[in-house]
Amino acid sequence: MSTTDSPPAPTGAQFLATQASPEFQELRTRLRRFVFPMTAFFLLWYGLYVLLGAFAHDFMAAKVFGNVNVGLLIGLGQFLSTFVITGLYVRFANRELDPRAAAIRAQLEGDVR
């Protein structure tokens, strides 16, 4: 691979300085504040569903309308929540993460050059 217009790699000191910078800390905090609680939420919601499936057969079998029962609705709810969380994350990442990451990247690669 030619390296004609890739910048030389930043040094360890530059990475340490970037890591300590308020801009980077802000990016890191925002990412973690979104993905950790969201991960905890969907894992608990999935865990609840699995436990209900294993231990609460009568509850899951209760008919809601026609032949559609609670279990089927909660199962479809897992699909819905997966799609919604995906959409929320993409919107969050596009708005909050990408511009911040791009700014730090530009600065670091500019410094090197």
Partner 1 sequence: MITYSAAETIGNPVANMAIFGVFVLVTLFVVIRASKRNATADEFFTGGRAFSGPQNGIAIAGDYLSAASFLGIAGAIAVYGYDGFLYSIGFLVAWLVALLLVAELLRNTGKFTMADVLSFRLKQKPVRLAAAISTMTVSLFYLLAQMAGAGGLVALLLDVKSRSGQSIVIAVVGILMIVYVLVGGMKGTTWVQIIKAVLLITGAALMTVMVLAKFGLNFSDILGSAQSAISGSSNAAVAKRDVLAPGAQYGGSLTSKINFISLALALVLGTAGLPHVLMRFYTVPTAKEARRSVVWAIGLIGAFYLFTLVLGYGAAAIVGPDRILAAAGGQNSAAPLLAFELGGVVLLGIISAVAFATILAVVAGLTITASASFAHDVYASVVHHGKRAVSEAEQVKVSRITAVVLGILGIGLGILANGQNIAFLVALAFAVAAAANLPTIIYSLYWKRFNTRGALWSMYGGLISTIALIVFSPAVSGAKTAMIPSMDFAYFPLANPGIVSIPLAFLLGIVGTLSSPDRGDPARNAEMEVRSLTGVGAEKAIAH
Interface pick for partner 1 out of 33, 35, 44, 73 (rule CB under 8 A)? 35
Interface pick for partner 1 out of 28, 95, 96, 110 (rule CB under 8 A)? 28
| 48 is an interface residue for partner 1 by CB under 8 A | no
Interface pick for partner 1 out of 9, 44, 48, 73 (rule CB under 8 A)? 9
Helix axes 98-112, 22-55, angle to 10 degrees: 140
Report the SS3 class of residue 78: helix
| 96 is an interface residue for partner 1 by CB under 8 A | no
Nearest-angstrom CA–CA distance, 107 and 10: 11
- Token look-up 């990016």 returns 27
